Amino acid sequence: MSIFYDTHQSTFHLQSRSTSYVIQLLKSTHLVHLYWGPRLQGTSISSLLQQVERASFSPNYHADDRDFSFDTLPQEYPGYGRGDYREPAFEAKHSNGTTVNDLHYVSHTITTGKPTLEGLPATYVEQENEADTLEITLRDPLTGLEAVVSYTVFNELNAITRSVKFDNKGAETIQIQRALSSSVDLADDEYRMMQLSGAWTRERHVHYRPLTPGLQRIESKRGSSSHQQNPFIALLGKDANEDQGQVYGMSLVYSGNFVAQVEVDQFHTTRMQIGLSPFDFEWKLEAGDTFQTPEAVLVHSSEGLGGMSRTYHKLYRTRLSRGTHRDQVRPILINNWEATYFDFDAPKIKSIAAAGKELGIELFVLDDGWFGHRNDDRTSLGDWVEDRRKLPEGLGKLAKEITATGMQFGLWFEPEMVSPDSDLYRAHPDWCLHVPDRSRTMGREQLILDLSRQDVCDYIVESVSAVLSSAPITYVKWDMNRNMSEIGSALLPADRQRETAHRYMLGLYSVLEKITSTFPHILFESCSGGGGRFDPGMLYYMPQTWTSDDTDAVERLKIQYGTSMVYPASAMGAHVSDIPNHQVGRMAPLTTRGHVAMSGNFGYELDLTKLTDTEKQEVKEQVAQYKELRELIQFGQFYRLLSPFESNITSWMFVSEDQQEAFAGYFQVLSVPNGPLRRLKLKGLDPHRRYSMSVNGVTDANTYAGDELMYHGVIAPYAQADFYSALFVFKAVE
């Protein structure tokens, strides 16, 4: 058992392998936060809450206790209206129009294992002894609103999950206006906040900012987790860096609108929160109804950002991702998108697939343009019927011909969208998100289907399943290429319209659950214009995501580095594309493009039939090398060595769990005249072992001690070339 309740002190002590989280029940009623940090060995804690009287501007909840004020109390799940002027974790409006709430402790349970969240993705356990769960029931005695605040401790992973289930046990309807998943009050403000922000083709760049009094917030109001922000923040202690110091991470298992924020108050304490965005959100909770928040995953690390990342990586790879492909190596693919766009026919597709087979590639993916009358991005979304003009013998025949050669066959879909120029829209114009009497804003000449409707969800499941059943398909790229506007539903009443965005996500999750369960042999990859929905919620259904539509190797250094803060390499799709690069026009060498893409789920996105013999030979060698390394890359431990946000040089590495093997990439963006000589210091190796080393396929005659490689380092290449890369492989020797 990793959760202990001390009846004498009224404290709950949550212990993982290296982390403690302590809650106190104050005055038998109020839930307060005492500690989150390195593991405390005992099950009790001697230093409890300090309280002092403040001025009358911090009002006293208990008239006979002038030291007690919600304005200064470090709370576990703070509400609004009883004297706490900081950001609340929840808000609820009552039938009389007021929004004052007051949750009191009722009871708690401690159980082995981890319950599921109804209708929502969440982390899980395979054996009950992997985790323990604390559920604390709070209730407002006046209104009957009940909140069950749930904590699960993963015993070996330094991760704690939090969520809240609201239950209206009163007689009157309540409107939930804010329902965050986690709120933690820290004792001081000596932190830097880190966030992952960007834009389409520039996702998840790493940004830091010092905390200042007031609110620091990131948020998505786009109907998806978004390219612009990722549902994650971290606080870094005063001396924390990549390898050392205290780091606190919060990540939300959700794919829609979210908020993650930090507030520093007048006394320099810090409130850290994450959950559903309260912007344009409301949920009508009638008597007897319940509402479940998404899951927040809290990770503490005493080993800097690297330690935090490796915890998230292992948890999300092994206890969030599910299904047949979770623990299987992923196939090397060739996608025709940047090779042909919409302009292709069956012979062209077969020629690219044949070229891929010759080079050792294992999977061909037919991208956009195979259905309806889809010759551009203005038509046919929603009409998931093969285009017989391009594929006169049908999709099934094409797939069978390609798989007969030994290649697998994959397909692109965008099931959540509809084109106004489509049979589906002409038959059901009310099936898209819209509001009465308003024009319908276009994005990429398309509208978004209303997945808050069961009939729409049923159509998607039926139409997609029909295609997947018609051909030997083993891979699906599930795309979503615009953000929401006119967020309304034709079927919801006026007082539930602000539920539409969240109901959409619940509908999407139900669709994904049905389709992925029906076709467990298919490897699903999530996509939203690349990385616009790269979040833990999607990883629950699809174990990998197309990291970015930007395939330029240099830009991918920052994108993949930032993504690695939370997400494992097994979740990142990474492809070699043509030059000049279609997003930025850069002319990076094929070697460098290959080395960068090898740091994820490897593939190509160009016309293989146009390569020279020399290029084909290099591709063949890259494919062979990745096959040797992919288990290490996809399932090994990841270490960041040099940051592209701080230097002209980027480096990272993967180390096998048994420390027998390692792979490191070294990337120089621009050549520096008469530049410095460098040593590359590795991480994660066994200091007591010796390792052989090869660089770009050339084996060094010497062997090297693990401690030497980590503390003294290896000689970094001295290259007078832009966009240069080197690939190091280390293997333990007796």
Q: How far apart are the first and last CA of the chain?
A: 40
Round the average pLDDT of the chain to a whole number and report it: 96
Q: What distance in Å separates the CA atoms of residue 709 and residue 687, rounded to the nearest whole number?
A: 8
442: phi then psi, degrees, rounded to nearest 5: -95, 150
Q: What is the pTM of this model?
A: 0.97
421-429 long-range contacts, Cβ below 8 Å, gap at least 24? 421/378, 421/379, 421/380, 421/445, 422/372, 422/379, 422/380, 422/381, 422/382, 422/383, 423/372, 423/382, 423/383, 424/382, 424/383, 424/459, 425/382
Q: What is the pLDDT of residue 45?
A: 83
Q: Which residue, among 33, 576, 604, has the nearest Cα to 362 in the 3D structure?
A: 604
pLDDT tens digits, 633-685: 999 999 999 999 999 999 999 999 999 999 999 999 999 999 999 999 999 99
Count CA atoms within 13 Å of residue 290 on its CB side: 10
Strand partners of residue 108? 136
The question of whether 479 is a catalytic residue gets the answer yes
The question of whether 549 is a catalytic residue gets the answer yes
The CA-based angle 726-732-734, given to 5 degrees, is: 145
Q: Helix, strand, coil shares of the chain as percentages rounded to 5?
A: 20, 35, 45
pLDDT band at 69 (very low <50, low <70, confident <90, very high): confident
Q: What distance in Å separates the CA atoms of residue 213 and residue 193, rounded to the nearest whole number?
A: 13
DSSP one-letter string for 266-332: TTS-EEEEEEE--TT--EEE-TT-EEEPPEEEEEEESBHHHHHHHHHHHHHHHTTS-STTTTSPPPP
Q: Tally DSSP H helices, then E strands, for the chain.
A: 12, 38
Q: What distance in Å separates the CA atoms of residue 387 and residue 495, rounded to the nearest whole number?
A: 43
Q: What is the pLDDT of residue 274?
A: 98
Count CA atoms within 13 Å of residue 9 on its CB side: 18
257: phi then psi, degrees, rounded to nearest 5: -60, 135
Count CA atoms within 13 Å of residue 320 on its CB side: 34
Q: What is the pLDDT of residue 389?
A: 96
CB 374 within 8 A of CB 380: yes
Question: Is omega for the bond preceding 331 within 30 degrees of 0, making it cis?
Answer: no
The CA-based angle 461-465-471, given to 5 degrees, is: 165
pLDDT at 61 over 90: no
In eight-state DSSP terms, residue 129 is G
pLDDT at 56 over 80: no
Q: CA distances (Å), 331 to each of 523, 534, 647, in order? A: 9, 20, 33
**Residue 204 is which amino acid?**
R
**At 422, is the secondary structure helix, strand, or coil?**
coil
Q: What distance in Å separates the CA atoms of residue 419 and residue 380, rounded to the nearest whole number?
A: 6
**At 161, is the secondary structure helix, strand, or coil?**
strand
Strand partners of residue 13? 4, 22
Average pLDDT over residues 91-101: 96
Tokens representing 560 are 């993949």
pLDDT at 257 over 90: yes
Q: What distance in Å separates the CA atoms of residue 459 and residue 166, rounded to the nearest whole number?
A: 31
CB 334 within 8 A of CB 405: no
How many other C-beta atoms can be found within 10 angstroms of the C-beta atom of residue 1? Answer: 12
Q: What is the pLDDT of residue 50?
A: 81
Element (H, E) at 461: helix 454-469
Parallel, antiparallel or unpaired: strands 90-93 and 104-112: unpaired
Average pLDDT over residues 507-514: 98
pLDDT band at 47 (very low <50, low <70, confident <90, very high): confident
Q: How far is CA 517 from the centre of its chain?
A: 21
Strand partners of residue 134? 110, 151
Average pLDDT over residues 397-408: 98
CB 77 within 8 A of CB 103: yes
pLDDT at 54 over 90: no
pLDDT tens digits, 268-325: 999 999 999 999 999 999 999 999 999 999 999 999 999 999 999 999 999 999 999 9
Tokens representing 547 are 């990291």
Q: What distance in Å separates the CA atoms of residue 568 and residue 665, rounded to the nearest whole number?
A: 16
CB 68 within 8 A of CB 61: yes
pLDDT tens digits, 408-466: 999 999 999 999 999 999 999 999 999 999 999 999 999 999 999 999 999 999 999 99
Count CA atoms within 13 Å of residue 730 on its CB side: 29
Strand partners of residue 205? 197
**Residue 423 is which amino acid?**
D
pLDDT at 55 over 80: no
Q: What distance in Å separates the CA atoms of residue 104 and residue 27, rounded to the nearest whole number?
A: 10
Parallel, antiparallel or unpaired: strands 544-546 and 649-655: unpaired
DSSP one-letter string for 45-111: -S---------TTS--SSTT-TT--TTT--BSS--SSSS--S--SEEEE-TTS------EEEEEEEE
Residues 6+ apart with CB under 8 A from 391: 345, 346, 370, 397, 398
Greatest pairwise CA separation for the chain in angstroms? 86
pLDDT at 46 over 80: no
Q: What distance in Å separates the CA atoms of residue 449 and residue 455, rounded to the nearest whole number?
A: 11
Q: What is the pLDDT of residue 114?
A: 98
Catalytic residue among 479, 535, 550, 552: 479
CB 280 within 8 A of CB 502: no
CB 294 within 8 A of CB 253: yes
pLDDT tens digits, 671-728: 999 999 999 999 999 999 999 999 999 999 999 999 999 999 999 999 999 999 999 9
Parallel, antiparallel or unpaired: strands 363-366 and 408-413: parallel
Q: What distance in Å separates the CA atoms of residue 402 and residue 357, rounded to the nearest whole number?
A: 9
Instruction: Tell the burial category of 63 from Cβ atoms under 10 Å away from its Cβ (0-12, 13-18, 19+).
Output: exposed
Q: What distance in Å separates the CA atoms of residue 335 and residue 312, rounded to the nearest whole number?
A: 29
pLDDT at 44 over 90: no
Q: What distance in Å separates the CA atoms of residue 94 and residue 408, rounded to the nearest whole number?
A: 56
Catalytic residue among 450, 549, 550, 552: 549
Q: Which residue, among 618, 615, 643, 498, has the nearest Cα to 559 in the 3D structure?
A: 643
pLDDT tens digits, 315-351: 999 999 999 999 999 999 999 999 999 999 999 999 9
How many other C-beta atoms can be found within 10 angstroms of the C-beta atom of residue 135? Answer: 17
pLDDT tens digits, 606-630: 999 999 999 999 999 999 999 999 9
CB 521 within 8 A of CB 474: yes
Q: What is the pLDDT of residue 70?
A: 86
Q: What distance in Å separates the CA atoms of residue 614 and residue 621, rounded to the nearest whole number?
A: 11
